[in-house]
Structure 1
């Protein structure tokens, strides 16, 4: 593993597994329940994330990517069971919208402390069939913990957030984090992105757990992002090619 991953304890039964040696600084979250566990996102596939989860739990793990971009599905190949939102299931069955060459260019973009064991020639985009298709409002029971699926398209059409109502924790994937938020891909939708932010800002949230960069994020960021999108819309720029907009704690590129 060459110390590729960093493990940080969020609580006694929740861990962030992070890839800080790559510019994406992707975070995956191991949610441990009484009966089973969920791994939210699986990273880039540069190193084997299951070797890490095996040290943290011996319970069965279901992997759930917040969406199927390359930096979230790389480790799916290590798990027997994964769930996925219905909109993006075709992407993992021959219809992935980005070329392998383009993905490889992102993999080696610096900063990247490449492990000696990593061979770019062997890098592939995961393809497979989910054990379960997820829809908005579905609930995943882990025993003493429950996650609710919230469909939040915009960054990608099948993007989801996962909400743990008992703790008021929101796992936001790529919808909200402290860096550059993106809706410039051909499969992105800036208008849907704004609508998704409006959807989650109505939740009671005590903790945001995002998929990139800083782990400690103020819950006020959701409202800040909403205001950012609203400002862009007022300028008539909420469309592809609208530009790059800089705010105090984040950027939005559309």
Structure 2
């Protein structure tokens, strides 16, 4: 496997891929679920290095990729998959080609976050994937969904299923996947162990609050998020409740 990616095996056919040379703001998780009938991949990384070249085994069973939402650090490699699932509310953004740059100030401008652009480094990677690589040439191309999914849809993996949960707020089409057999939730950027971002132009705080209120009552065993380490149910509730307190207009 290419040194650009780190691989962590969780057992039960679950593998996490991450990109250690990507700045933490964009360093996302690619979750690879190897199941009986087919494989499913949740999100597709930044796309600096082609997944097919770096991790060829990932494509051995022609997996379905499920895109948790339409941001560059989650859809950069989506074009490599024959079948791509995601929520229709993010389909137009994907089809237009999501805003993308490895230049920190330029990325802040494209995302509409110039006020926090000072937190972005000049370049969003700390190493080149190969000699001569030009970060200025980085782009994320247009992606068309082959499998639009809605809340409650089920993805059959052969004796095990993933249920789609539409949880808008971070983006209009943000989704999570619940594997009911194990109680595992693949949450994308709906929730992770950190400050939850709700100030992008496409974000909706009221919708985000409803999504997190729902998650507070969801019976899960573990959360595998779009960024950082996995969370247990107690930590999920802590993060969600902290967000709800922070965004409570009444200060309750």
Shorter chain as denominator, the TM-score bin is 0.7 to 0.9
Size of the alignment, in residue pairs?
Answer: 236
8 Å CA contact retained: 1:73, 1:126:
no
Offset at residue 126 of structure 1 (A): 2.4
8 Å CA contact retained: 1:152, 1:193:
yes
**Whole-Å separation in 2 of the counterparts to 1:48 and 1:99:** 16
8 Å CA contact retained: 2:86, 2:145:
yes
- Provide Cα deviations, 1:31-65, integer angstroms capped at 9, x if missing partner: 11212111100000011122354335621211111
For 2:51, the equivalent position in structure 1 comes to 49
User: SS state of the match for residue 53, structure 2?
Assistant: helix
For 1:127, the equivalent position in structure 2 comes to 142
| Cα distance change of structure 1 residues 121 and 209 upon mapping to structure 2, 3 Å threshold | same
Offset at residue 226 of structure 1 (A): 2.7
The reply to whether residue 6 of structure 1 matches residue 20 of structure 2 is: no
**Whole-Å separation in 2 of the counterparts to 1:197 and 1:204:** 13
Query: How does the TM-score come out when normalised to structure 1?
Result: 0.83
For 1:219, the equivalent position in structure 2 comes to 233
Q: 2:243 aligns with which of 217, 229, 246?
A: 229
**Whole-Å separation in 1 of the counterparts to 2:127 and 2:39:** 30
| Cα distance change of structure 1 residues 32 and 53 upon mapping to structure 2, 3 Å threshold | farther
Query: How does the TM-score come out when normalised to structure 2?
Result: 0.84
Offset at residue 95 of structure 1 (A): 7.0
Q: Any gaps of 5 or more consecutive residues in structure 1?
A: 238-254
- Superposed, 1:42-81 pairs within 5 Å as 42-55=44-57, 58-81=60-83
Q: 1:140 aligns with which of 150, 155, 164?
A: 155
Q: 1:31 aligns with which of 27, 30, 33?
A: 33
The root-mean-square deviation of aligned C-alpha atoms, in Å, is: 2.5
